Structure 1
Amino acid sequence: MTTIADPKAPRPPKPRPARLTTRGNTELYGWVFMRASGVILVVLIFGHLFVNLVAGEGISAIDFGFVAGKWASPFWQIWDLLMLWLAMIHGTNGVRTIINDYAERDGVRLALKASLYLAFVVVVVLGTLVIFTFDPCPAGSPADLLPSFCTTA
């Protein structure tokens, strides 16, 4: 005789495939990084805003010459570089978490994360290049196109 299982009985859990490798503490490290980088970013951003808006002549003084003068100092280059890198890593990690939480299909998740990482690399590489290769007075430029603080040689 054949018996039919009780439809109200709980179903046995589906067997999960055995993991070949363990995930380790990657998510824990990401969580700790988000908290630490958030604190550091607050200091960097408020320092940036204070120097640019409060300590100087306010927003009216921020122009090409102001940025050129600031980036002439290695201190401000490193400050802005840290701000760029931390903000991009912090933001990318946050968006990665959102993608993992809300993208249900594996293909969509892979495409979104690939786009995110590509955007991250492009912005970080270009931003770093701008910070370290910025020259407000390039040699051989016409004098009428150079800022007033550049000396023509």
Structure 2
Amino acid sequence: MMTTTQTQAAAQLPIENPGEAYKRRKTTRGNFELYSWVFMRASGVVLLVLIFVHLFVNLVAGEGITAIDFGFVAGKWASPFWQVIDLVMLWLAMLHGTNGMRTIVNDYAERDGLRMWLKIALYTAFVVVTVLGTLVIFTFDPCPADAPANLLPSFCTA
């Protein structure tokens, strides 16, 4: 047990911060990290609902996995409702995943240059996948002109 004199002497000793070697320059980000944290929780809940609806519609309802083919996807995406649902799922999944990876990069990349290049690669991948996925959802032609009639959905006039 420490005496009062020992406690006072210990309180006067300078305490070395072991994290000084890893100290980064401070930036003011306002409430961005708080909003990012709240977004991760909210988007996670919404994604769970969307994913289970997606799995139920695609695998449980109807004939199961054997029914998933070009005609199934074409019939589903012929409806603007399913286009929007899949688009929201794509955007939320990409934003959620990118935000999570951004947090990991910030936590584990110690050098500023490495952190910058990792974030550039991350944001580039985010933009490419999100833009291409959005284009596929909205430019998908369920009734292509050169497709065999047996592969086309029933609503196509071939």
Q: Same fold (TM over 0.5)?
A: yes
Higher helix share: 2
CA distance in 1, matches of 2:148, 2:80: 28
CA distance in 2, matches of 1:132, 1:62: 20
What is the match of residue 60 of structure 2? 54
Alpha-carbon RMSD across the aligned residues, in angstroms, is 2.4
Over 3 Å counting, the alpha-carbon distance change for 1:73 and 1:144 in structure 2 is closer
For the 8 Å contact 1:81–1:128, the answer to whether it is kept is yes
What is the match of residue 127 of structure 2? 121
Letter in 2 for 1:10: P
User: Once the two structures are superposed, what CA deviation does each residue of 1:28-82 show, in whole Å capped at 9, x if it has no partner?
Assistant: 0000000000000000000000011111111010111100000000000000000
Q: Percent of aligned pairs with the same residue?
A: 75
Equivalent of residue 38 in structure 1, options 3, 24, 44: 44
CA distance in 1, matches of 2:43, 2:71: 30
Please say if 1:103 is aligned against 2:92.
Answer: no
The answer for unaligned runs of 5 or more in structure 2 is 1-12
Equivalent of residue 69 in structure 2, options 63, 66, 76: 63
Equivalent of residue 147 in structure 1, options 135, 144, 151: 151
Please say if 1:132 is aligned against 2:138.
Answer: yes
For the 8 Å contact 2:87–2:134, the answer to whether it is kept is yes
Count of residue correspondences: 139
Letter in 2 for 1:151: T
* Greater relative contact order (CA < 8 Å, ≥ 6 in sequence): 2
The answer for unaligned runs of 5 or more in structure 1 is 1-8
Letter in 1 for 2:125: A
CA distance in 2, matches of 1:145, 1:102: 54
What is the match of residue 78 of structure 1? 84
Over 3 Å counting, the alpha-carbon distance change for 1:79 and 1:148 in structure 2 is closer
User: TM-score scaled by structure 2?
Assistant: 0.79
Letter in 2 for 1:134: F
For the 8 Å contact 1:136–1:147, the answer to whether it is kept is no
